[in-house]
């Protein structure tokens, strides 16, 4: 498996630290608002990476933190006249509502800063003892000059950084690029006791402390958006490697930005869209499909039209899946066909599985994996079309194999939810409501049939017209009454 490593700027063969296991840390949100589409991209992408490793049989340990202590949270809480930790807790709940909708698996551990202050203080103490950190007036700074490898992730020297950054010169700092590990408490802010007096952690130190606690040194994959490379991830490396003298994470993966009219989507530019606003207009499976339709390192442009297109693409998969499920219900004929219709389908399925894996193992090329999914849908359509309303037992086995492959592709990409009882994928985004809708419509159809058998045409018509108003069309076919949504 090849992974593009930001640290070495090359695609590298993935070798896990521990055989058969993958340890991953992905920086989570600062919980002071609902998440926006730019937050959803790494969320969905790294969930897909995790799912692929699980598909390959690895034991994955996935950690994603919540930054619940931060200036933005404190400021927002002040505006809303609420407690900062309560505000953070509220947006953690809202985060899970959006993540669940997008079918993102919960992390094995979701550590919060507020619950890891002792670990953070220990790490800062260690850095101070080793001469990598110094305290001034209750603040503690990391001394970037004490870590010669500083800049290795972003590929910038300290001189470049200083030229590029308009940092205010703080005479208390030894170098303008030194960054805060601990901030002295200001009145009215949440604070914890420490050897340097009451205060709270700076942003970067939390990820070093929590990754070390849950994954240990030299863990496998550290992920996040491009914008975290500098300074956040650069600082994480400096803190962790200066303290432990060992490599921190071995593969650094970063996803590209979401753009709106080629401009980066961000809060500061005011062109960002909340996941919630998008989910009000588009089903979550379509949003997820859209997010995976472009390679993760490329920019992904956003507008409604792109989501409409994604929905049309996903409909091709759903249509094939509907046909597949219908075919799986066909009666099995004992006799052989005169002319077989399977036409090497079994070999094609095996080839498609290999192609899908090859795409995913080439630096998680989900765009290519999706195109293999379309190929599979096409093969299913062709095969089902040739069945002519009946299957032999051999063909039934092939349908099951095609279904297993659809489920595996879907499980990696995380698009459709699965009905745990039947093992079938839920085709409509409303997923859980699907079976209920089907059951209710079948019940209504039955009542209408009963009315017709009693020549109660008025009731039968009322039912048909009423359903039509709801956009549901009944069709009388030789196999009985069928229903469909008005196209």
Binding site for ATP: which residues? 267
Minimal distance in Å, beta carbon 27 to Zn ion? 3
Residue numbers belonging to the annotated binding site for Zn(2+): 27, 207, 232, 236
Minimal distance in Å, beta carbon 109 to Zn ion? 14
Return the structure tokens found at 474. 């009944």
Site membership for Zn ion, residue 27 (CB under 5 A): yes
Site membership for Zn ion, residue 77 (CB under 5 A): no
Query: Are 417 and 103 a contacting pair, CB within 8 Å?
Result: yes
Which one of the spans 23-31, 159-167, 413-421, 438-446 is the region binding Zn ion (CB under 5 A)?
23-31
Provide Rg for the chain, Cα atoms: 27
For Zn ion, the closer CB: 88 or 370: 88
Which one of the spans 93-101, 201-209, 251-259, 297-305 is the region binding Zn ion (CB under 5 A)?
201-209
Site membership for Zn ion, residue 121 (CB under 5 A): no
For Zn ion, the closer CB: 140 or 249: 249
279: Cβ–Cβ under 8 A, 6 or more apart, which residues? 98, 101, 287
- Please write down the HEC assignment for all residues of the chain: CEEEECCCCEEEECCCCCCCEEEEEECCCECCCCCEHHHHHHHHHHHHHHHHHHHCCCEEEEEECEECCCHHHHHHHHHHCCCHHHHHHHHHHHHHHHHHHCCCCCCCECCEHHHCHHHHHHHHHHHHHCCCEEEECCEEEECHHHCCCCCCCCCCCHHHHHHHCCCCCCCCCCCCCCEEEEEECCCCCCCECCCCCCEEECCHHHHHHHHHHHHCCCEEEEEEEHHHHHHHHHHHHHHHHHHHCCCCEEEEEEECCEEECCEECCCCCCCCCEHHHHHHHCCHHHHHHHHHCCCCCCCEECCHHHHHHHHHHHHHHHHHHHHHHHHHCCCEECCCCCCCCCCCHHHHHHHHHHHHHHHHHECCCHHHHHHHHHHHHHHHHHHHHHHCCCEEHHHHHHHHHHHHHHHHHHHHHCCCCECCCCCCECCCCCCHHHHHHHHHHHHHHHHHHHHHHCCCHHHHHHHHHHHHHCCEEEEEECCEEEEEECC
Residue numbers belonging to the annotated binding site: 27, 207, 232, 236, 267
Minimal distance in Å, beta carbon 242 to Zn ion? 17
Minimal distance in Å, beta carbon 299 to Zn ion? 22
For Zn ion, the closer CB: 113 or 307: 113
Residue 418 forms beta bridges with which residues?
Answer: 425
Minimal distance in Å, beta carbon 203 to Zn ion? 8
Member of 22, 40, 74, 207 binding Zn ion (CB under 5 A): 207
Which one of the spans 200-208, 273-281, 323-331, 466-474 is the region binding Zn ion (CB under 5 A)?
200-208
Which one of the spans 19-27, 115-123, 418-426, 465-473 is the region binding Zn ion (CB under 5 A)?
19-27
For Zn ion, the closer CB: 207 or 320: 207
Which one of the spans 26-34, 171-179, 215-223, 311-319 is the region binding Zn ion (CB under 5 A)?
26-34
For Zn ion, the closer CB: 27 or 102: 27
For Zn ion, the closer CB: 198 or 218: 218
For Zn ion, the closer CB: 235 or 392: 235
The owner of tokens 């959803």 is: 40
Minimal distance in Å, beta carbon 110 to Zn ion? 13
Strand 59-64 with 21-26, pairing: parallel
For Zn ion, the closer CB: 99 or 317: 99
Return the structure tokens found at 66. 């919540």
Q: Please tell me the count of residues contacting Zn ion according to CB under 5 A.
A: 2
Minimal distance in Å, beta carbon 62 to Zn ion? 14
Residue 139 forms beta bridges with which residues?
Answer: 136
Return the structure tokens found at 191. 């604070």
Which one of the spans 24-32, 289-297, 343-351, 388-396 is the region binding Zn ion (CB under 5 A)?
24-32
Minimal distance in Å, beta carbon 67 to Zn ion? 8
Report the site for Zn ion in 170-199 (rule: CB under 5 A).
none
Which one of the spans 33-41, 202-210, 327-335, 356-364 is the region binding Zn ion (CB under 5 A)?
202-210
For Zn ion, the closer CB: 152 or 401: 152
For Zn ion, the closer CB: 161 or 207: 207
Minimal distance in Å, beta carbon 293 to Zn ion? 27
The owner of tokens 């650094």 is: 252
Minimal distance in Å, beta carbon 286 to Zn ion? 30
Binding site for Zn ion (CB under 5 A): 27, 207
């Amino acid at each position: 498996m090849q992974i593009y490593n930001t640290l070495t700027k090359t695609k590298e063969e993935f070798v896990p630290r521990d055989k058969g296991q993958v340890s991953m840390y992905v920086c989570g949100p600062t919980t002071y608002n609902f998440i926006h589409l730019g937050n959803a991209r790494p969320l969905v992408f790294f969930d897909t990476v995790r799912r692929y490793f699980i598909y390959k049989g690895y034991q994955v340990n996935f950690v994603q933190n919540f930054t619940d202590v931060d200036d933005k949270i404190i400021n927002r809480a002040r505006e809303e006249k609420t407690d900062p930790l309560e505000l953070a807790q509220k947006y953690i709940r809202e985060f899970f509502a959006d993540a669940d909708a997008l079918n993102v698996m919960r992390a094995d551990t979701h550590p919060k800063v507020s619950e890891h202050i002792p670990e953070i203080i220990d790490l800062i103490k260690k850095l101070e003892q080793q001469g990598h950190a110094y305290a001034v007036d209750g603040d503690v700074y990391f001394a970037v000059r004490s870590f010669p490898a500083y800049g290795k992730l972003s590929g910038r020297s300290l001189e470049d950084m200083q030229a590029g950054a308009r940092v205010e010169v703080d005479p208390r700092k030894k170098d303008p690029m030194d960054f805060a590990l601990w901030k002295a408490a200001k009145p009215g802010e949440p604070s914890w006791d420490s050897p340097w007096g009451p205060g709270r952690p700076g942003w970067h130190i939390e990820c070093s402390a929590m990754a070390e606690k849950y994954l240990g040194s030299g863990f496998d994959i550290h992920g996040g958006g491009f914008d975290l490379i500098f300074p956040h991830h650069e600082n994480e490396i400096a803190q962790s490697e200066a303290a432990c003298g060992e490599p921190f994470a071995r593969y650094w993966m970063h996803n590209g930005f979401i753009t709106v009219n080629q401009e980066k989507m961000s809060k500061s530019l005011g062109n960002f869209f909340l996941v919630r606003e998008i989910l009000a207009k588009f089903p979550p499976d379509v949003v997820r499909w859209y997010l995976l339709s472009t390679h993760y390192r490329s920019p992904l442009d956003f507008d409604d039209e792109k989501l409409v297109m994604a929905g049309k693409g996903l409909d091709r998969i759903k249509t094939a899946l509907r046909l597949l499920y219908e075919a799986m219900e066909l009666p099995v004929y004992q006799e052989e066909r005169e002319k077989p219709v399977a036409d090497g389908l079994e070999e094609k399925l095996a080839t498609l599985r290999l192609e899908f894996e090859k795409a995913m193992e080439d630096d998680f090329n989900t765009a290519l994996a999706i195109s293999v999914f379309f190929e599979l849908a096409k093969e299913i359509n062709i095969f089902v079309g040739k069945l002519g309303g009946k299957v032999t037992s051999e063909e039934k086995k092939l349908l099951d194999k095609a279904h297993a492959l659809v489920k595996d592709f879907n499980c990696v990409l995380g698009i459709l939810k699965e009905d745990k009882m039947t093992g079938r994928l839920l085709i409509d985004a409303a997923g859980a409501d699907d079976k209920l809708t089907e059951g209710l419509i079948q019940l209504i159809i039955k009542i209408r049939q009963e009315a017709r058998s009693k020549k109660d045409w008025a009731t039968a018509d009322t039912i048909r017209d009423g359903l039509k108003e709801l956009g549901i069309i009944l069709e009388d076919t030789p196999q009985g009454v069928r229903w469909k949504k008005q196209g």
